[in-house]
Amino acid sequence: MRSKNVLTNESLLERVQEYLPETASIWEMDCAENPCGTIPVESLGHNTFLRFDADTVVAFSRAVEDLALEEGHGRFLAAFQNADQFEGQQERYWQLCTALDDVQLIATGKLPLKTDGLKYCEDSKALLGKFWIVIYEGVRNRVMFLAEEIDTTTEFEEKQFTGFYTFDEKVISQARTDIADLLGGHCPHLRNFKRLRQLDLAAKRLNVEFARENKKLELAIRKLRDGKKYQSQHFIEDFEKTLQRLTDLKAHLPELIGGQRTK
């Protein structure tokens, strides 16, 4: 079985693809979290924030559930937006409860039917009402899909989410801690999700700025090679302008990564 091997990005995406309809969409995002083009599922990268449609978040759920069932050990956590979304999944979660050491489900509302062995946490205040979370931690493999709804449509099929998936043990462990703290009233949001989202935006902003400066320098070098009106002193002046722009960007780094701007 596939689960006997260490889970890779490629093998997870193969699992996801098995559940994706042809109409499903995933978008890359720019440094302002605006969609900037669709991306095929086989090109996705872990630990990168993307925009997912509803079909894709469900496909990630099914893929992670399959992995958990195949491995047959470990613990599993899922957070649905509403308990009604559990309808039709009772048999699958009964299998998970039979196979795994611990299975937890979090949702708003009452479960339509109870499943033996399932630990259900009713999110009465809808603290996780905008999130879709699936976590599996097994003996060989671990994976998490975590995304937040970005719109207010009531039709699930029309919803879109911003989030990421990861195999990182520390990130997964911190997510479990943050979920418990949020539901326990110890923090107002999923702290590390917010921090990682900020860092992702910062990385994308830096990539844009570095690419822009690189193009300016390449143009300056080409002009210098021509050796006509553009001389060494002109290149030095343009290079100093690049350094100044990067120095200005450095002053914004603390706020970009979630701190305070330096003075």
Closest CA to 38 of 29, 229, 244, 46: 29
Instruction: Give one word for 126, left, alpha or beta, with left for phi > 0 and alpha for psi -120 to 50.
Output: left
Residues in the chain: 263
Helix (H) or strand (E) holding 61: helix 54-71
* Domain extents in the chain: 2-188, 196-256
* Residue 86 predicted with pLDDT over 90: no
Per-residue model confidence (pLDDT) at position 116: 80
Q: How far apart, in whole angstroms, are the C-alpha atoms of residue 141 and residue 151?
A: 32
Per-residue model confidence (pLDDT) at position 11: 96
Going 79 to 83 to 87 to 91, the CA torsion angle's sign is positive
Q: Model confidence at 261, in pLDDT bands (50, 70, 90)? A: very low
Q: How far apart, in whole angstroms, are the C-alpha atoms of residue 126 and residue 81?
A: 8
- Locate all alpha helices (DSSP H) within 111-190, ordered by sequence: 169-183
Per-residue model confidence (pLDDT) at position 170: 97
- Region 55-84: mean pLDDT is 94
Angstrom CA distances, 12 to 15, 46, 102, 191, stand at 5, 10, 22, 26
91-104 pLDDT, tens digit per residue, is: 899 999 999 999 99
Please tell me the CATH code under which domain 2-188 is placed. Answer: 3.30.870.10
Is the separation of the CB atoms in 144 and 171 below 8 Å?
Answer: yes
188-241 pLDDT, tens digit per residue, is: 999 999 999 999 999 999 999 999 999 999 999 998 998 778 999 999 999 999
> Which amino acid appears at position 217 of this protein?
L
Closest CA to 175 of 95, 109, 79, 59: 79
In terms of Cβ atoms closer than 10 Å to its own Cβ (0-12, 13-18, 19+), residue 100 is buried
Is the separation of the CB atoms in 29 and 164 below 8 Å?
Answer: no
pTM as predicted: 0.88
- Region 142-165: mean pLDDT is 93
- Region 153-174: mean pLDDT is 94
* Residue 70 predicted with pLDDT over 90: yes
Is the separation of the CB atoms in 166 and 143 below 8 Å?
Answer: yes
Going 116 to 135 to 183 to 57, the CA torsion angle's sign is negative
DSSP letter for 143, please. Answer: E
Place of tokens 């100093």: 240
Q: Model confidence at 174, in pLDDT bands (50, 70, 90)? A: very high
Per-residue model confidence (pLDDT) at position 217: 93
* Residue 262 predicted with pLDDT over 50: no
Q: Give the tokens for residue 52.
A: 């997912």
Is the separation of the CB atoms in 172 and 166 below 8 Å?
Answer: yes
Rg (CA), the chain: 23
Going 220 to 222 to 223 to 227, the CA torsion angle's sign is positive
